[in-house]
Structures are given as C-alpha cells and as structure tokens.
Copies of this chain bind each other. A is one copy, B any other.
Amino acid sequence: MYKSSFRKRLQSACSWFQKSFWRTGAVKNQAISLEYQAARRYTTRNRPIGPLERIIMRQHGPWGILASTEVYRDPWIRLVKDDVVRPDGQPGTYCVAHLKPGVSVLALDEQQNAYLTEEFHYGVARTTLETASGGIDSGETPLVAAKRELHEELGVTARKWTDLGTVDPFTANVVSPTQLFLAQDLSFGKPQPEGSELIRCLKVPFADVVKMAMDGRISHAPSVALVLKVGRLLEC
C-alpha cells in the first residue's frame, strides 16, 4: 500500500517536472531529467530494466515509455521517438509519425454522380483519384474542415452532410485519424486550390466509382473505405 502510493507520487513528480520544462521551452527536443538519461542509458545498453526505470516508466498499454524525444517537426508532420520497455520486458525504441487529423468527403449529386479529385500526390509520386481530402486546421471541427476542403478542391458546397465515422489509415507507426463524410444536395462554384495544389475535378457515375474502388483505380484507403461505405448505405 505504502509502496504503491510512493511510486505514484514519484511518478507524478517526474511527470510535473518534465511537463514544466517542456512548457517553458527551456529544453525542447531532448529528454531532460536525470532519471530519463539514466533510463536511456539502460535501454541503449540493452540491459534489463532496473527498479528505477520501473518507477519512472509511463504505462502505454502493455508498453512502458521511459523517454520521448521529438526527432522532427514541421506544420504537417511530427516524428516522436520513444525509449520503451516492450510487452515482453525487453528494452527498445518506438517511433511514431503524427500527422494532422484529416477528412475525406464524397460529394454526390441527385443523379448519383460523384465528384472526385485527380491530383499528383507527392508521397506516392503519381496522379491519384480520391474523394476530396485534406487536413483539419487548428480550431476547426471535422465538419468545418470537410466543408472547406470540398469548396477549395472542387468548388462544391453541400446542404446535406452525413458523418460516416472515422478511419485510422495506420494504427502502429502513424497517427492521423480521418473522418469520412457524405455530402449531398450540392451547388457548384469555383474551386480555390492552395498554391501547391493542381486539382482536376472528375464527375463520375457513382456505380463506376464503386468499381474503381474495387479494382484499385482508387487506391487511397480512406477514399476506398468511404466509397464502399456509401455503396453499402445506398445499396448500389
């Protein structure tokens, strides 16, 4: 009983100490406290985890986190490397890329035509067909971001919105939940792409869009999930 309470206090003290320093910005991309450095020495030397590490370790499911270091950050991507104790008790490292949460929107008109984007995507280095997709800006709700992206990329505004849930493109090494929307009752304006975007709008009968998702012509996973979800809902 006493031991557990002592451990909790020490943990909360460590956590306060760490947070305060992060907040003040005194130390930015470095794990700072002496305990953390000790822990890092242990993990890098591949030694078994000692009693001090057990105390300062932050539990993360079956994993223990001894130290977190921000390896890289820009407005789109943040890479964090953790020194960890694996579920089997062995030391190791685990690196996670954090991206902005995102939205994907399928715009569907009354004649069951869908509106897709055709755009060169930097990562996969080819032109892909996708539903209108983008990141949620700070302060935006997913719905506001969805409305903005649909207008920016396709010049479309919609009066009827259906939330089709969230998908996680990855669950292990990348964090970027993507909320899916069906947009109906459309009106059309002029697209306003950002400087880095060259987007062509494609009007395709929805039945063909489903075929494209099935045969791989649409490969962007959130778009595939969204199209097939809508296909099931509309039974087409």
Contacts and interface: CB of A to CB of B under 8 A. Distances in A.
A159 interface: no
A121 B63 CA distance: 10
Interface string A70-102: 011010110101000011101011111101000
Contact of A96 (B122, B165, B168, B215): B122
Contact of A94 (B120, B122, B198, B228): B122
Contacts of A113: none
Contacts of A166: 216, 219
Interface stretch (A13-21, A123-131, A183-191): A123-131
A222 interface: yes
A69 to B, nearest CB: 11
A169 interface: yes
B232 A86 contact: no
Interface of A: 60-63, 71-72, 74, 76-77, 79, 81, 86-88, 90, 92-97, 99, 120-128, 130, 165-178, 195-198, 210, 213-216, 219-222, 224-225, 228-229, 231-232
